[in-house]
Amino acid sequence: MTRIRIARPDDPAARPLLDGLADEYAKTYGEKTDGELAVREVVDFVRPRGVFLLAVSGATTVAGGGLAPLVGDAAEVKRMWTSPLHRRRGLARRVLAALEREALHLGYRTLHLQTGALSDPAIALYRASGYERIAPFGRYRDEPLAVAFEKRLTAGALGADAALFAQVES
């Protein structure tokens, strides 16, 4: 059984997620993503500013993602990743639903995120989860491979996914 729990990016259990993400960034996008994992401080992913979630099966981290503040009532989804050995099982969908629910609890009403144009599964996940395309922002504003999304959150708009999948352990 895979459970979703709150962690910190500097938690040793987060290392597989961050290392896997760094490897995928390097293989898919090369040097363009150098430093991406250092852009945010750990405190950005800790309540009350944000949250960092890990999906854990037994003692193994298999997926996760984080939420960090932007401006006002907007936050950014960051560090979404699923182990290649655990893909196509709905884990990213569960993590994203849990992040949306946590965002509402933290007072955020809009979520933004960015991915790369070569990340077809991620783009499909975000579209299927109700995210709408927006212009790239921040450090990727002028990056041709950047694909950005936004979703406005309301308790009713989260739907069944949040209720079914978003049980998060503290």
- Give 102's pLDDT tier (boundaries 50, 70, 90): very high
Percent of the chain, pLDDT > 90? 58
- Give 126's pLDDT tier (boundaries 50, 70, 90): very high
CATH number at residue 99: 3.40.630.30
DSSP readout, 33-65?
Answer: GTTGGGSS-GGGGSTTT-EEEEEEETTEEEEEE
Q: Looking at the predicted structure, is the pLDDT value of residue 84 above 90?
A: no
Least confident of 36-45, 50-59, 89-98: 36-45
Q: Looking at the predicted structure, is the pLDDT value of residue 39 above 70?
A: no
Q: Which long-range contacts (CB under 8 A, 24 or more apart) does 144-148 make?
A: 144/117, 145/29, 145/32, 145/116, 145/117, 145/118, 146/114, 146/115, 146/116, 146/117, 147/114, 147/115, 147/116, 147/117, 147/119, 147/123, 148/112, 148/113, 148/114
DSSP readout, 71-90?
Answer: STTEEEEEEEEE-GGG-SSS
Q: Which domain holds residue 60?
A: 2-169
For the question of whether the overall pTM of this predicted structure is more than 0.85, the answer is yes
Number of structural domains found in the chain:
1
pLDDT at 45: 94
95 — phi, psi (to 5°)? Answer: -65, -45
pLDDT at 31: 65
pLDDT mean over 91-110: 95
In terms of Cα–Cα distance, which of 88, 38, 24 is closest to 68?
A: 38
Classified as helix, coil or strand, 158 is: helix
DSSP code, position 121: H
Residue 155 C-beta-side C-alpha neighbours within 13 Å: 3
Mean pLDDT of the chain: 86
**For residues 4 and 114, what is the distance between their CA atoms, to the nearest angstrom?**
22
Per-residue pLDDT tens digits for 144-163: 889 999 999 987 655 544 44
